[in-house]
Structure 1
Amino acid sequence: MALFWKRAAVCMLVPYGGAFGFVSTAQNLSGSSMATYTKSNALKMMSDATGSAAKKVLVPIADGSEEIESVTIIDTLVRAGAEVTVASVSPELQVTCSRGVKLVADKSIADAAGETYDAIACPGGLPGANHLRDDPTLRALLQAQNEAGRLVAAVCAAPAVVLQTHGLIAGRAATCYPADQFKSAIENYSTDPVVVSGNLVTSQGPGTSLAFALALVAELYGEEKASELKGQMLF
Structure 2
Amino acid sequence: MPRALILVADGSEEIEFVTPYDVLIRAGFEVVSAGVQLKDDGIAHMTRNIRIIPDHPTLSSVPHQTAHESFDILILPGGGPGAQTFSNNDTVLELIAAFRTAGKYVAAICAGTTALVAAQKKHGGEKVRVTSHPSVQEKVEGEGGWEYSVERVVVDGKVITSRGPGTALGFSLAIVEAIAGKSKRDEVAGPMVVAETL
Range of TM-score over shorter length = 0.7 to 0.9
The structure 1 residue matched to 2:85, chosen from 131, 138, 141, is 131
CA, structure 1 residues 155+143, in 2 after alignment: closer, same or farther (shift >3 Å)?
Answer: same
Structure 1 residue 227 corresponds to structure 2 residue 186: yes
Aligned-residue offset at 1:169: 7.2
Equivalent AA in structure 1 for residue 45 of structure 2: T
TM-score, length of structure 2 as denominator length? 0.86
Q: Mapping of 1:96-111 within 5 angstroms? A: 96-107=45-56, 108-111=58-61
The structure 1 residue matched to 2:157, chosen from 198, 202, 221, is 198
What is the match of residue 147 of structure 2?
188
Structure of greater relative contact order (alpha carbons < 8 Å, 6+ residues apart): 2
Aligned-residue offset at 1:85: 0.6
5+ residue gaps, structure 2: none
SS in 2 for 1:157: helix
What is the match of residue 217 of structure 1?
176
Equivalent AA in structure 1 for residue 172 of structure 2: A
Aligned 8 A contact 1:172 1:197 in 2: yes
What is the match of residue 29 of structure 1?
none
The 2-side partners of 1:212 and 1:171 are apart by 20
Greater strand share, structure number: 1
The 1-side partners of 2:98 and 2:125 are apart by 14
Aligned-residue offset at 1:214: 0.4
Aligned-residue offset at 1:146: 0.2
- Which digits, 9 at most, give the CA deviation of each residue in 1:107-141, with x for residues without a partner? 11111214421000100002000111122222211
The 1-side partners of 2:60 and 2:93 are apart by 12
Equivalent AA in structure 2 for residue 163 of structure 1: L
- Which digits, 9 at most, give the CA deviation of each residue in 1:164-210, with x for residues without a partner? 11117743111111234445346310111001100000000000000
SS in 2 for 1:184: helix
The 2-side partners of 1:185 and 1:128 are apart by 20
What is the match of residue 18 of structure 2?
71
SS in 2 for 1:201: strand
Equivalent AA in structure 1 for residue 127 of structure 2: G
Superposition RMSD in Å: 1.5
TM-score, length of structure 1 as denominator length? 0.73
Q: Mapping of 1:1-235 within 5 angstroms? A: 54-91=1-38, 92-107=41-56, 108-112=58-62, 113=64, 114-115=66-67, 116-159=70-113, 161-167=114-120, 170-179=126-135, 180-182=137-139, 184-185=141-142, 187-235=146-194
Greater helix share, structure number: 2
SS in 2 for 1:234: coil
> What is the identity percentage for the equivalent residue pairs of Structure 1 and Structure 2?
35
Is 94-103 or 176-185 further displaced after alignment?
A: 176-185
Equivalent AA in structure 2 for residue 81 of structure 1: G
